Amino acid sequence: MKPEDKERIAASLAKIMAVMCVRNTRLEAVHAGVVPVTHNGDYSDVFVLDAEGRKIAWAEVSHIDDDAMRDLMRQIVNRLYTFQMSCDDPDFMSLIDRWMTVAGKWDEPELDAKFLGAIKFGADLGPA
């Protein structure tokens, strides 16, 4: 396979799996709600006041608890598994074609060097 074909196929697959398997999951609950106003542009001027009276900087506040993260990851893994197990179903393939009209409008993906480095050295694959 030519390198440009490999890149095109990988980019399309990454986008379609993201739109079909990650979008519209429990991730939407994390995204939902009121977005705080920042005058500095970096949220360094935004704080959360919790029930104990602690003033916590926005950058230090967890926006998802462990249970919600576990539920989100289960849902995404199940969708990715379902996607892979359904790839030989003609009806599913027609759904992929329809969803590709959405995914096709997204930016082209890029290789994530930090991810590759973490895998190479066995490091934690936590947030970027």
> How confident is the prediction along the chain (128 residues), in pLDDT tens digits per residue?
899 999 999 999 999 999 999 998 999 988 889 999 999 999 999 999 999 999 999 999 998 999 999 999 999 999 999 999 999 999 999 999 899 999 989 999 999 999 888 888 776 666 55
Mind listing the pLDDT tens digit for each residue in 77-107? Answer: 999 999 999 999 999 999 998 999 999 899 9
C-alpha distances in angstroms, 48 versus 3, 44, 112, 114?
48, 11, 32, 31
The ranges assigned to domains in the chain are: 3-34+63-119
Angle between the N-to-C axes of helices 3-21 and 66-86, in degrees from 0 to 180, rounded to the nearest 10: 130
Radius of gyration of the chain, Cα coordinates, nearest whole angstrom: 19
